[in-house]
Chain A
């Protein structure tokens, strides 16, 4: 079963697009060794998107205001409930996991989450801030490294 790379965000809301952009680059680089999906949905609506995979990498933006814009944060599913100010997109993951278990759905058991601290996820506009754009390639490399063992394994 191919691993899922799920880019979350909105590409007309400034830095909120980062997860989608990274996912698109990985789609080009990794071809059909992975399943790449993009979504601007959140919460329970993501259940449909995530169901049917065993391994999943989520790529998103985050605004904790505790790190400089462009910082890349690496979470596991266990961390999510503990994050002080998570992005709205991937939150709800613990409930999704519980629900999937309860309903015997095929749902990722290995979950990695990469989130970039962003500067402006609030303005309706196209284009990334300088800080976030500058960290894009690094994010792609880290995401690539995350899924490599899943592809070869």
Chain B
């Protein structure tokens, strides 16, 4: 929600006379892409009783999808949200492949993955420099006026600012070249893509990918120089306040290496050992959704472990997705420079898995480098300019599943249709939903860790927000159930869950 960029944090402190609790609301959350709210309930000593992260958001999508043509889903789902349209477009397109049981030709798969890598590059660059970076490059407790992109540029130099903007423009132009549009791409079709790449297009992709590889390398160097060499920042990264021992999930290729576009879902235990590996078609066997009275989001958990409340460890089914989880769930990266950075990451942070939430920022930059290297590999592949870009679907549709890794984590699409291909059921599990339980724990733990004896200032509140910002959550499409309204409600809850106060905006 971008207005939060310009407004002061609305830090309203409401005294509760009956029991001496204070209820602090951080609303809206600064720099987060999408709406959100945190409620922090203090006890009489001024310490945290419980902190809640709430995501009141768009609803009614499944209802909207019913009766529509399945072929329209890549366009419709990519319009749900302005933040990750390419992820929805790609996931829906893959679900259509599965719905019509049609396997795209190699060139089509390669074009899709190459465009998808380009999307990762621009999205991860945006997050590191503009949204998450200010926390570390500028500093978690730096004055609020400096904790923004301008502060980042003050630290790393204006030329890098121009470089970030220049690279993002180049990459977005490439996505438009292949995808039709940057924001809502139109190139994915069941069984392939809508147009082949020309030799000239290929040259442009090669040039853009080479630029992105350099960009990825210097971004990691900045992280190394500014963050890792600062002992205070490193101490925060590894501190218990920002650490949870959970399961991790991500897509992997046949050699258990990170892949954003395709593969098997691999889940590792808190000790890093493989727990389960499954195909997207089996997602409902493995992933359950838990409902809490204080949140509209459904909290995903591993069914085989079970829901054990907001707790961590091997007996709690809570898992995490997104960059850190993807690295943890895999055994390496498929490109050489990213693999080297992956090894350095685990060497510095004492081995796999890494449980420190703030390490997501570092993992994100390793992924950016991987996306750039993978994009270059695909752009150089002679197959990429093949005119054979589509296999025509012939099967009668019934049910289709799609999965991709969105920049913010694993994204599932599941459709059922009638024999004419009209949607009778659409279920999406978005990245932030997969991550919701761990994010909720992270906000609660950070609040407990940094708020002591009633001392609350802007820097402390920012450190609470850092707990979720590391995940790069996006709530534009995180909740999507009936009745089709998106109310904004502030709730004050007692430790026993009783409603003490409610403010509605609907």
Q: Hey, what's the 0/1 contact readout for A106-127 against B, CB within 8 Å counting as 1?
A: 0000000000000000111100
Stretch in contact with the other chain, from B158-166, B276-284, B434-442: B158-166
Residues from chain B with a CB closer than 8 A to the CB of A90 are 2
* A residues near B59, Cβ cutoff 8 Å: 122-124
- A81 to chain B: which residues have CB within 8 Å? 6-7
User: Is A41 part of the contact surface with B, judged by Cβ < 8 Å?
Assistant: yes
What B residues does A94 contact at CB under 8 A? 6
Contact A41 B82 (CB under 8 A): yes
CB distance from A5 to the nearest CB of B (A): 17
In the assembled complex, the CB of A127 is this many whole angstroms from the nearest CB of chain B, namely 11
| 8 Å CB interface, B61-85 against A | 61, 63-64, 76, 79-83, 85
CB closest residue in chain A, given B64:
A124
Q: Is B15 an interface residue (CB 8 A)?
A: no
Question: Please, which residues of chain B bring their CB within 8 A of the CB of A123?
Answer: 58-60, 484-486
Say yes or no: B3 contacts A91, CB within 8 Å.
yes
Choose one: A65, A91, A122; the contact of B5 (CB below 8 Å). A91
Instruction: Report yes or no: A105 in contact with B165, Cβ–Cβ below 8 A.
Output: yes
Partner of B183, one of A40, A91, A99: A40
Q: What's the Cα separation between A47 and B129 when bound, in Å?
A: 14
Q: Is A32 an interface residue (CB 8 A)?
A: no
With A65-B505, A122-B485 as known contacts, state yes or no: A92 contacts B2, CB within 8 Å.
yes
Q: Is A73 an interface residue (CB 8 A)?
A: no
B126 at the interface (CB under 8 A from A): yes
B264 interface hit (Cβ, 8 Å): no
Smallest CB gap from A43: residue in B: B2
Task: Give the residue of B4, B5, B82, B150 whose beta carbon is less than 8 angstroms from that of A10.
Answer: B82
Interface string of B42-68 (1 = CB under 8 A from A): 000000000000000011110110000
Q: Which secondary structure dominates chain A's binding surface?
A: loop
B405 within 8 A of A: no
- State whether the Cβ of A136 lies closer than 8 Å to any Cβ in chain B: no
B432 within 8 A of A: no
Partner of A124, one of B60, B85, B153: B60
Q: B148 on the interface (CB 8 Å rule)?
A: yes
Question: Which of A48, A65, A91, A95 contacts B169, CB < 8 Å?
Answer: A48
- Residues from chain A with a CB closer than 8 A to the CB of B130 are 43-44
The distance in angstroms between the C-alpha atoms of A153 and B50, with both chains bound, is: 59
Whole-angstrom CA separation of A86 from B1 in the bound complex = 10
Q: Provided the pairs A12-B80, A40-B82, A88-B1 are in contact, do residues A45 and B126 lie with their beta carbons within 8 angstroms?
A: yes
Roughly how many angstroms separate A95 CA and B82 CA in the complex, as a whole number?
19
Query: Which residues of B sit under 8 angstroms from A65, Cβ to Cβ?
Result: 505
**28 A-B residue pairings within 8 Å (CB atoms):** A10-B79, A12-B64, A40-B79, A40-B81, A41-B82, A41-B83, A42-B2, A44-B2, A44-B149, A47-B165, A48-B165, A48-B169, A81-B6, A83-B3, A86-B3, A88-B34, A92-B6, A95-B6, A95-B150, A99-B153, A102-B158, A103-B165, A105-B165, A123-B484, A123-B485, A124-B58, A124-B64, A124-B484
Closest 6 CB pairs of A and B: A91-B3, A122-B486, A43-B2, A40-B82, A92-B2, A92-B5
**Beyond A11-B79, A91-B2, 10 additional pairs, beta carbon < 8 A:** A12-B80, A13-B58, A40-B85, A41-B183, A48-B169, A51-B165, A91-B4, A99-B153, A122-B59, A124-B59
